Amino acid sequence: MRLAERVAVVTGGAKGIGAETARVFAAEGARVTVWDVAGGAPGEGVAFRRVDVTDAGSVAAAVDAVVAEHGRIDVLVNNAGILRDAQLVKVKDGVLVGSMGDAEFDSVISVNLRGVFVCTRAVAPVMIRQGAGRILNASSVVGLYGNFGQTNYVATKAAVIGMTRVWARELGPRGITVNAVAPGFIATEMVRQMPEKILAGMVERTPLRRLGEPRDVALAYLYLASDDASFINGAVLSVDGGVVVGT
């Protein structure tokens, strides 16, 4: 029970890695609330609240609700994220046939980057009053190495690493650690629906020759949220099987 009596918030926790993280935290004794725009509680002992992480008012109300019920927030997992992949420009036979649109760029920036900023800004004062807390941010292996067709997504995941290191410096003296996790190719429901050829390519680029499971990432979050990681601050933990990404 490494998180006994801890109060945790997991954004984007209705499915995928976030849902598994919420379940693992609850099994380790935490009182977990999931924030998401759709769905519901992913398991027993997990509460659900409909929250838009890009909306400061929605987030502030959600923070107030958790504090009113539990009196504190010990762990924030900034997991919410979306994909809108496209090449910056796509040229065929010398002719421009497509590009990443403004809406595709802005929506990913809004959820994956602004959402992390908005949620952390709202939760940090609660943790400062407590004199302790854990903030865990979802980056990605592509935030470290880049990836074809993901200008918007890579920009957010690289920026999350930068914000993590800033906040580790700013909040560390207040007893709050801030770390990031950078998953590789993880077998979420969305990934499993990809064509077999794409999945095989992911496995081939991973030295362990398998896709990661959501639980692999959830256990990394568990470690960083626990007392075992009390002296880890400003780190980026890759959970990727040694993956090599690029063009």
Which CATH number goes with the domain that contains 86? 3.40.50.720
User: Has residue 32 got a pLDDT over 90?
Assistant: yes
Whether residue 70 lies inside any domain: the answer is yes
Q: What's the pLDDT at 194?
A: 83
Q: What's the pLDDT at 91?
A: 97
The secondary structure of 82-112 as a DSSP string is: ----B-SEEEETTEEEEE--HHHHHHHIIII
Distance between CA atoms of residues 194 and 198, nearest Å:
6
Burial label for 117, CB within 10 Å (0-12, 13-18, 19+), is middle
For the residues 106-114, what does the mean pLDDT come to? Answer: 98
Provide the token pair at 173: 């003296």
Whether residue 135 lies inside any domain: the answer is yes
Distance between CA atoms of residues 57 and 66, nearest Å:
14
Least confident of 70-79, 203-212, 227-236: 203-212
User: Has residue 247 got a pLDDT over 60?
Assistant: no
Whether residue 243 lies inside any domain: the answer is no
**Per-residue model confidence as pLDDT tens digits over 135-168:** 999 999 999 999 899 999 999 999 999 999 999 9
Q: What's the pLDDT at 117?
A: 98
User: Contact, 76 vs 134, CB < 8 A?
Assistant: yes
Whether residue 29 lies inside any domain: the answer is yes
Q: What's the pLDDT at 58?
A: 98
Distance between CA atoms of residues 87 and 190, nearest Å:
20
For the residues 26-33, what does the mean pLDDT come to? Answer: 98
Q: What's the pLDDT at 192?
A: 85
Q: What's the pLDDT at 236?
A: 98
For the residues 27-55, what does the mean pLDDT come to? Answer: 97
Cα dihedral 128, 134, 140, 146 in deg (nearest 10): 40
Question: In the structure, what pLDDT confidence band is assigned to residue 246 with cuts at 50, 70 and 90?
Answer: low
Question: In the structure, what pLDDT confidence band is assigned to residue 244 with cuts at 50, 70 and 90?
Answer: confident
Whether residue 247 lies inside any domain: the answer is no
**Per-residue model confidence as pLDDT tens digits over 116-133:** 999 999 999 999 999 999
Strands 133-138 and 75-78: parallel
For the residues 229-245, what does the mean pLDDT come to? Answer: 94
Other CB atoms within 10 A of residue 44 CB = 8
User: Has residue 191 got a pLDDT over 90?
Assistant: no
User: Contact, 83 vs 108, CB < 8 A?
Assistant: yes
Give phi and psi for 76, each to the nearest 5.
-120, 120
Q: Which listed residue (145, 153, 221, 223) is catalytic?
A: 153
Whether residue 2 lies inside any domain: the answer is no
For the residues 223-245, what does the mean pLDDT come to? Answer: 95
Q: What's the pLDDT at 226?
A: 98
User: Has residue 202 got a pLDDT over 60?
Assistant: yes
- Tell me the angle at which helices 115-130 and 56-70 cross, rounded to the nearest 10 degrees: 30
For the residues 112-118, what does the mean pLDDT come to? Answer: 98
Of residues 30, 4, 5, the one with CA closest to residue 13: 30
Tell me, rounded to whole angstroms, the distance of Cα 203 from its chain centroid: 22
The rounded mean pLDDT for the chain is 96
Whether residue 1 lies inside any domain: the answer is no
- The domain in which residue 128 lies consists of 7-238
What domain count does the chain have? 1
Whether residue 244 lies inside any domain: the answer is no
Q: Note if 153 is an active site residue.
A: yes
Share of the chain above pLDDT 70, in %: 99
Question: In the structure, what pLDDT confidence band is assigned to residue 189 with cuts at 50, 70 and 90?
Answer: confident
Other CB atoms within 10 A of residue 212 CB = 23
